[in-house]
Structure 1
Amino acid sequence: MGTLHHVLHTGARPIGLPEFVDAVRATCPRRFTQKGTMRHRRVALAVSGGVDSMALAFLCSSLRKSTAAFEVSDNPVNGFRAMVIDHGLREGSYEEALAVCEALKDMSLSADVMPLNWSKIFDDNTNPRDLPNFESVARKLRYERLGHECAARKLASLFLAHHEDDQYETILMRLLQGHGSRGLRGMKKAHDIPECENIHGAHQSGWVDDQMSYRPFYKPLTRTRKHLHRALQANIHHLMDENDPVHESEIELEDFHTKLHTKSIEPNQIPIEDGGVMVYRPLLEFSKDRLIATCLENNVPWWEDSTNHDPTLTIRNAIRKLYKGYALPKALQKPAILALAKRCEQKHQAQDAEANRLLRQVIIHDFEPNAGTVIVQFPKFESVITKRDSQSPQRRQARLARQREIASIVMRKVLMLVSPEKQAPSVTALENHVWRLFPSIAEPGNAAQTDDPKTFSVYSVLLTPITPDSPHRKSVPASSSKPHMQQLSWHLSRAPYPAHLPIPRVRMTYWSMKGPVPTYTMSTRNEWMLWDGRYWFHAEHQLPHRIIVQPFLLEHSKPFRELLQRSARARLDARLKRYAPGKTRYTLPGLYLEEDVDLNRPMRQITPRGGYPNPIAWEYRDGIGDGRGADRGVGQAGERRDQSMHPKVPDTSKMKLIALPTLDIQIPGLSDWIDYEIRYRKVDRKTLRIAGTWSRGSFGPLTDDAVMRYIESGRARGGRGVDRLRKERTEGRLSRMRVCV
């Protein structure tokens, strides 16, 4: 289609470059607070060809030409890459996308056309426009395609062209859907890319790979590293000072003996992911009229999509026709709705600030990504009843409701450290459970149950109170002799899998096959796969069967132990007892062979059973082939492609457990067959930084040797020395040790 007939908007003025620069800086704050020497990086632009995205493309092009050293988030920008999404829902859409690319190239912007693959969801006979949820399906496919492209090109920032009018429509839609104040804030200016939870490098991942690369995008400054080195040397020299010696009597031989003998049970700490693609909306404060004026002023072409004017296609189109064609009440007009969104945002910020003050009193003890568990001691929520509250029951109920809301926000932050769910739970849903952790704000109907805390499950997280007879009690030292002086601690872990639902399972795409030489060649390395919403995993191997990641099952426990050597069995028992007691161990990821194979035999003698159900069986002829199998593929010269039956649900009775990767336990000789890597998904480091974090066994009274070990660890807050810490301990101002992560 051609460009829209230009209509002069006399009341709107074009967006100036200084305005756009200020908007970008306000929208794209630094993600990683530690400033370093950052490599130049490109920024992705999502372009549809409409007036809003073309105006964004023009402003980005002008910014690049006028300002060479400009930063977006953590990296200086060395260019922009436009991604033109073609939905393919109308005739001529692909040709139009090509024309958009040509217009972008005239602005000195690189551009690619990216058609959406509807066949992934529907067959060829289904018209996507007939779907009742067409808008949400199109959004999912669009973001998945953008996420894959950004991850492949190592782009960490994606600019979208949503503007003020889009924000107005979004809030109206949420009003109709009954959202609360948190939903009525509208679209965020910056957030993680949605709909890409299973794409490594796009959703909250990629940081570890970047730090392991030869030229990372994020690298601390040299002077920062030197400062840390000097601080460490100063601590060591202070400890070795003759004026403050460490006497032999201060060394606890029992602690030394315990550490010496428990060191071997410590598994290798698995990396925790971070990073990913961030979505930014720098035009959210500008109206559409100003974007049109910007394109008119600078002779920027744009294209109109006829589907945007069909009120029967999406709810947004219907709302757009409603407010443009009819006079709405003043309370539903754009100024009033946008003012409502700002008030909701201010309320949300105030609640978060109050929740962070409460979070500072939370003590996080032993966060273990290897097992996906954490021990948390929640503070006592002191319910202050003023004179006015005592005289007005309604006022007191309102205050308690607000306190329950703040406590629910804290509870949600802590739950997300171990929860496998993709989205955080709503605050309203948690208010029905928060009284279990904060008994002082319980409703009268629940007050009687607070004296006897029980294990409960919420949002796929199992919360177990740590009592004297609890299996987790050994991880927490004895509390005060006065129970009221210390709040109860809770052990948080992944909830057991429901029996009526299938267990989470990830099956590797590739397997190894024999080539011309009677040995197995290394399979293709799988892309990173997210298992149970908690662990990223990928592998390459020389095994004739596929690798499956699923929970550690009780039925495989005994055969797995029999395959281990004596020392490995001892380590397995010790690590399970310490990190995954009780039913928690059956939520750990296990590495399985799809069918049992004796790996102790020579490689050339290992052959899968006849008729092994490969979805695609490759038969080599004349010694030609790459020695790899896959679920999908194209046959090469010298290969014959045969289809065979393949069970959609593997038979667990035929599987063989070969490793518990998070506990660093595997059968002997497995490293000769497989090379795998596992990582924990991203956690909110701000939660760990704000909350108090205790090292193992630091709940007891603080002694001189404990102070010495604390300083030696280099974690003393604010650079406090030994003498100052001892003085504070003597004066009673330092009763517990809090170590911030």
Structure 2
Amino acid sequence: MGTLHHIVHTGAKAISVPEFMDAVRATCTPRFPCSRGILHRRAAVAVSGGVDSMALAFLCSQLRRTDPDFRIADNPVSGFRAVIIDHSLREGSREEAIAVAKAVRDMGLVDEVSTINWTKVLSENQSPKGLTNFESVARTLRYRKLGAACASFNIASLFLAHHEDDQYETILMRMLQGHGIRGLRGIRPAQDIPECEGLFGADKSGFVDDQARIFPFYNFKPTRKEREHMRRQLRGDISKMLAGLEPDDTTAFDLDGRDLYKPNDIPPFVPRELQIEDGGVTIYRPLLEFSKDRLIATCLENNVPWWEDATNVNPTLTTRNAIRHLYRGYTLPKALQKPAILDLAKRCERRVEHQEAEANRLLSRTIIRGPQLYAGTVIVQFPELKLPMAGRDSRSPLRRRARILRKRKIAAILMRKIILLVSPDPLPLLSTLENLVTPLFPYLALPEELPVATPPKAFSVAGVHLVPFKSTSSDSTPAGTAAHQQLKWYISRTPYPSTKPLPRIRTPYWASSRNKKGRWLMSEWMPWSLWDGRYWFRIKHRFPYRVLVLPYLLEHAKDFREQLPPRDQKLLASLLKRYAPGKVRSTLPAFYLEEPLDLLDMENSTPRAKYPMVEWDNNNNKEDSNGNDGEEEGGREPPSMHPAVMDTSMLKLIALPTLGINHPGLDDWMAYETRYRKIDQNTILTAKTFDEAPFATPREGALRRPRERSRGDRGRKGNGVRIYLHKRRRNKSRSYVTSDYRITDS
């Protein structure tokens, strides 16, 4: 496609650089407000060659020339990299991508051309446009290419050229599709990059590696002046305290040896704390407040070329094209014209903000223990949410129902905030959660849901299992309050059904050669992989067979336990009882060897004939952090020879990485790193915490008394989960009694 002829738009004004800078400041707010980012960092711009993206590229090129220290999000910008995606859908697309790259180079931007390989999603003799979901597939591949490019160059900010007309078209489309107020807000000005699940460095990850750098981009350390100020202030406070003490008062600091030993305060063994990921690529849309006419005027005034795609004006091709043809060629009712629709989006935005604020107030009354990252669990006590009967409610059942539905929406928002701490799903639907609010908030039950089951039953939603239990026994509850005792909920990953494929990662490396000493060669660190939407793993090994990441399968538990030394056997039993009771342990990640071989004799082992069946089989990642497609050069990815429901009987369990339990001698063969995926820290900071102790008391750990049974009351809650309630007095000088919770196998 050639450059369009210049068309004079007399009513449109070009976007000035100060206007654009103000829009960027309003859009690119800091992701880490406490960070002291002083290092300059490059940002990326997605350029398609159209008038909107070319105008954005030009404005970005002028931004740094105007202010070399201009900040985008958390860091000053050092320049922009233009990422150009060639979809390879029509003749001349490659030449057009090269021409666009030359145009952005002339502006002073660094260019990066990436081509989409459609062979991954197509069957034999099928064209991309023959896909029924062609638009969604193209969108996914495009975003994954953009995310891979940003991750490979350590870029955290990506600019997209969506403008006011795109916003208008999107809201009209969502109105036709029946979206609610959240969908009618339109395109978000800033959000995490979509469609990049499992792509390390792009998918809400990379923060831990950044903090390990000598000079991190996100710097949270105080400056030298601030450290000196804090040191002087601390010395002054200590001097004032010492000056106010009498000579005899110094005896108050004398300690009795018996005070240094408090048996109840001895912590049990805990695994190494898992690091929590954060960061990733954020997409920004600074042009949402500018119309397309102004973008055209910007290109015309500054002699910026652009290319038009004829498919964008074909009203029969896509819904967006049809809507564009409708509002440009016909006069719509005033309520459907652009000013009214954009005003509707702002009203919906304000309403959603009010809902989020109300949900946060409810969250501040919620009590949370956790999340416990070793198994991905959390204990929550939801607040009691009552809806008093107003006078008008008794006269109008419909009004009463509307009030209940509004409160159920707020409760569903709170429920999603909690569930996202452990859920493998990126974003559960609020409409699904609204139907399950009643067990958590019985006072919000609709008339057709009455009577509410008491006590509520365990249920599953969004990949998590919620089990109710009470924290105190009947003899410690004051008379008349036992019936109103607030329930706590134990939230964990839902056990995997036997009829569906297990989440797995299969490493692409196996040792095929030896060094001069006859030892199998160790691989390099493999790319980070996301397992089950919860844990990031990075592995290197020198096994002659591949390593798999699968759930902790009970069929291998006995053999694994018997191969551990006695101390590790007790430790494993203690950790499973403490962090993964009942069916929760079946959701733990575990490392397996593809063949049941003995590690002590592994040096003398050789791979079986015709091993492996396939060269690459990793259902969690299609692209690594370097932007590679994970497929053979120039060809299609070979089909997997492994069934969807794989046979796990021939595997060998070698490690439980989150608990730190390894097969003896594994350190000589394998190294790995484990991290938990990003969670919303604001949820944890806003909520309250329990005052009680952990699940099991420290002195009851299995390392000291592995066969001791719990004392106290027993009760069965949920599906096959037994809950032990044990009371103890923490300190003789205090009069209150706390409760411990232990959830074990039935």
Shorter-chain-normalised TM-score: which range? Answer: 0.7 to 0.9
Question: How many Å separate the matches in 1 of 2:234 and 2:591?
Answer: 40
CA–CA distance in structure 1, aligned partners of residues 95 and 379 of structure 2: 58
Give the alignment partner of residue 674 of structure 1, picking from 662, 666, 670.
670
Change (3 A) 1:656 1:277: same
Q: 1:683 aligns with which of 672, 679, 682?
A: 679
Partner of 1:434: 437
Residue 340 of structure 1 and its aligned partner are, at CA, apart by 1.1
Matched, 1:539 2:539: yes
Among 334, 357, 360, the alignment partner of 2:361 is: 357
| Pairing 1:229-244 to 2, within 5 Å after superposition | 242=249
Aligned to 1:707: none
Q: By how many angstroms is 1:123 displaced? A: 4.4
Give the Å deviation of 1:431: 1.4
Q: What is the rounded CA distance, in whole Å, between the counterparts of 2:214 and 2:7 in structure 1?
A: 53
Q: Distance between the aligned counterparts of 2:630 and 2:28, measured in 1?
A: 41
What residue is the counterpart of 1:412 in the other structure?
416
User: Which secondary structure does the structure 2 equivalent of 1:561 belong to?
Assistant: helix
State the Cα distance separating 1:667 from its structure 2 match. 1.0
Deviations 1:653-706, CA, capped at 9 Å, x for gaps: 11000001011111111011001111111001111111113365299xxxxxxx
Which of 301, 306, 309 aligns to 2:313? It is 309
Cα distance in structure 1, aligned partners of 2:450 and 2:251: 52
User: How far is 1:239 from its partner?
Assistant: 11
Instruction: Specify the alignment match of 2:464 in structure 1.
Output: 461
User: How far off its partner does 1:485 sit?
Assistant: 6.4
Name the amino acid aligned to 2:387. Answer: S
| CA deviation profile, 1:154-191 (whole Å, cap 9, x unmatched) | 00000000000001111111111111111111110000
Structure 2 equivalent of residue 175 of structure 1? 175
CA distance, structure 2, for counterparts of residue 610 and residue 171 of structure 1 = 59
Residues 129 and 313 in structure 1, CA contact (< 8 A), matched pair in contact too:
no
Tell me the residue number matched to 2:525. Answer: 525
1:161–1:283 CA contact under 8 A, matched in 2: yes
Letter in 1 for 2:335: A
Query: Superposed, which structure 2 residues align to 1:532-571 within 5 Å?
Result: 532-571=532-571
**Cα displacement (A) at 1:411:** 0.5
Q: Deviations over 1:410-457 (max 9, x none)?
A: 0010011000012x2222211111111111212234343342121111
Return closer, same or farther for 1:123/1:247 CA change in 2, 3 Å cut-off: same
Matching of residues 74-223 of structure 1 within 5 Å: 74-123=74-123, 125-223=125-223
CA shift for structure 1 position 606: 2.5
Task: Give the 5 Å matches for 1:609-624.
Answer: 609-615=608-614
**1:654 paired to 2:650:** yes
Distance in 2 separating the partners of 1:236 and 1:698: 35
* CA 402–679 in structure 1, closer or farther in 2 if over 3 Å, else same: same
**RMSD, aligned α-carbons:** 3.1
- Equivalent position amino acid for 2:380 in 1: V
Q: Is 554-563 or 511-520 further displaced after alignment?
A: 511-520
Q: Which digits, 9 at most, give the CA deviation of each residue in 1:209-238, with x for residues without a partner?
A: 111122211112424667788899999999
Aligned counterparts of 1:519 and 1:229: Cα–Cα separation in 2: 54
Identity %: 54
* Shift in Å, 1:585: 0.4
1:276 equivalenced with 2:280 (yes/no): yes
Aligned mates of 1:250, 1:174 — CA distance in 2: 70
TM-score w.r.t. the length of structure 2 is 0.85
CA distance in 2, matches of 1:405, 1:238: 53
Out of 144-153 and 326-335, give the one that drifted further: 326-335
**SS of the residue aligned with 1:435?**
coil
Deviation at 1:331, TM superposition (A): 1.7
1:341 to 317, 320, 345: 345
- How far apart are the structure 1 equivalents of 2:239 and 2:454? 51
8 Å Cα contact 1:365/1:696 also seen in 2: no
**Structure 1 residues 388-403: aligned runs within 5 Å:** 388-403=392-407
How much does 1:151 deviate? Answer: 0.4
Confirm whether residue 664 of structure 1 aligns to residue 667 of structure 2: no
Greater CA drift, 444-453 or 295-304? 444-453
Cα distance, 1:533 vs structure 2:
0.6
**Residue 233 to residue 508, structure 1, CA distance change in 2 (3 Å):** farther
Q: Quick check: 1:365–1:695 contact (8 Å CA) kept in 2?
A: no
The one-letter code matched in structure 1 to 2:28 is C
For residue 111 of structure 1, give the secondary structure of its aligned residue in structure 2: strand
Segment drifting more, 513-522 vs 434-443: 513-522
Distance (whole Å) between structure 2 residues aligned to residue 584 and residue 668 of structure 1: 25
Tell me what 2:717 maps to.
none
Cα pair 1:193 1:277 within 8 Å, conserved: yes
Paired residue secondary structure (2:18): helix
Does the aligned pair in 1 maintain the 2:508–2:615 contact within 8 Å? Answer: no
Further displaced range: 530-539 or 238-247? 238-247
Amino acid across the alignment from 2:612:
P
2:727 maps to: none
Contact (CA 8 Å) 1:526, 1:538: kept in 2 or not? yes
Distance 2:431 2:483 in 1: 29
| 1:514 alignment partner in structure 2 | 513
Match of 2:381 in 1: 377
Distance 2:687 2:39 in 1: 32
Q: Secondary structure at the match of 1:167?
A: helix
Which deviations, in whole Å up to 9, do the C-alpha atoms of 1:526-566 show, x marking residues without a partner? 21111111011110101111110010011011001001111
- How much has 1:67 moved relative to structure 2? 0.6
In the alignment, residue 397 of structure 2 is paired with which amino acid? Answer: P
Cα distance between partner residues in 2 of 1:235 and 1:134 = 67
Q: Which secondary structure state, in structure 2, belongs to the residue aligned with residue 654 of structure 1?
A: coil
Query: What is the CA-CA distance between 1:85 and the residue it aligns to?
Result: 1.1
- AA partner of residue 455 (structure 1): A
Tell me the residue number matched to 1:500: 499
Q: Is the 8 A contact 1:48 1:85 kept in 2?
A: yes
Listed one character per residue, the Cα deviations across residues 294-314 of structure 1 (whole Å, up to 9, x for unaligned) are 111111111111121222332
Determine the C-alpha separation between the residues in 1 that align with 2:423 and 2:56: 38
Moved more, 564-573 or 426-435: 426-435
**Aligned position for 1:725:** none
What's the CA shift string for 1:311-368, capped at 9, x where partnerless?
A: 2332212221222222222222111111111111111001001111111000111320
SS in 2 for 1:550: strand
Greater displacement, 402-411 / 646-655:
646-655
CA distance in structure 1 between the aligned counterparts of 2:665 and 2:656, rounded to whole angstroms? 14
Q: 1:563 to 1:416 in 2, by over 3 A?
A: same
How far apart, in 2, do the equivalents of 1:39 and 1:104 lie?
25
* Aligned 8 A contact 2:470 2:486 in 1: no
1:302–1:200 distance in 2 versus 1, CA, 3 Å: same
Query: Matched residue of 2:29: which SS?
Result: coil
Shift in CA distance, 318/551, structure 1 to aligned 2, threshold 3 Å: same
Once the two structures are superposed, residues 250-289 of structure 1 have per-residue CA deviations (whole angstroms, 9 ceiling, x without a partner) of 98889x32443x432x111111110000000000010000
Deviation of 1:48 (Å): 0.5
Q: Which amino acid aligns with 1:257?
A: P
SS in 2 for 1:203: coil
- Is the alpha carbon distance of 1:244 and 1:578 closer, same or farther for their aligned partners in structure 2, counting shifts above 3 Å? farther
Structure-1 residue corresponding to 2:322: 318
Cα 1:478–1:666, aligned 2, differ >3 Å: closer, same or farther? farther
Retained in 2: the 8 A contact 1:439–1:447? no
- Go from structure 1 to structure 2 and tell me whether the alpha carbon gap of 1:672 and 1:236 turns closer, same or farther (over 3 Å shift): farther
Equivalent in the alignment of 1:579? 579
Cα distance between partner residues in 1 of 2:632 and 2:511: 14
1:593 equivalent in structure 2: 593
> Which structure 1 residue ranges, 5 or more long, are not aligned?
618-629, 636-642, 700-729, 737-741
> What letter is aligned with 2:65?
K
Q: Secondary structure at the match of 1:653?
A: coil
Q: Relative to structure 2, which stretch is displaced further, 318-327 or 207-216?
A: 318-327
